[in-house]
Amino acid sequence: MTTYRERLTAPISWWVAALAFAAVWGWVFLVATTWSIAIVVTVLLVAAGGYTVWRYGSVVVAVGPDGLHVGRAHLDPRHVGPVRSLDRAAYRTQLGTGADARAYLMTRPYLDHGVLVTVDDPNDPAPYWLVSSRHPDALAAALAPSAPTAPAPDPNGDAPHGQAT
């Protein structure tokens, strides 16, 4: 039984950009060649662009009794360590100055939130997984149902609502 499932789909703007790319090149081929060649090129570019956007944007993040699945990658539940839901600032820090080069990343540029999953396996070279998510709190809760997730630190140094410092 899956306790959490999310598909990281590409935004509409990416689909529009792929179609616009095909249309522009179709027009270039129409000006330079014949209608039939321009139509074939346009159809091929629409198909290639659509496939590329679909493939890149079809990553499934799922949590079940057998652990965390992110695309083709799998993390066994006994190796899931502490989990943190990351807000925009903390997520960007983990992608930039706070990053570890050994970490496993499944990030998408169109998402600005995620979850940091510590890997509790001495044989795994990755210290943590950084996973993009539209619902990081729900993903963190699914990974650590018995323990409350620690909120990401506020960049202003304020305590989260309802908590004393």
pLDDT digits (tens, 9 = 90+) for 23-55: 999 999 999 999 999 999 999 999 999 999 999
Rg (CA), the chain: 21
pLDDT of 157: 45
Q: Residue 67 pairs with which residues in a beta bridge?
A: 64
> With a cut of 70, which residues of the chain have pLDDT below it?
1-2, 145-165
Closest CA to 79 of 123, 141, 130, 137: 123
Asked if 144 and 138 touch (Cβ cutoff 8 Å), the reply is no
Return the domain boundaries, the chain: 4-56, 74-143
Entry pTM: 0.75
pLDDT of 144: 79
pLDDT of 86: 93
Q: CA 165, CA 162: separation in Å to the nearest integer?
A: 10
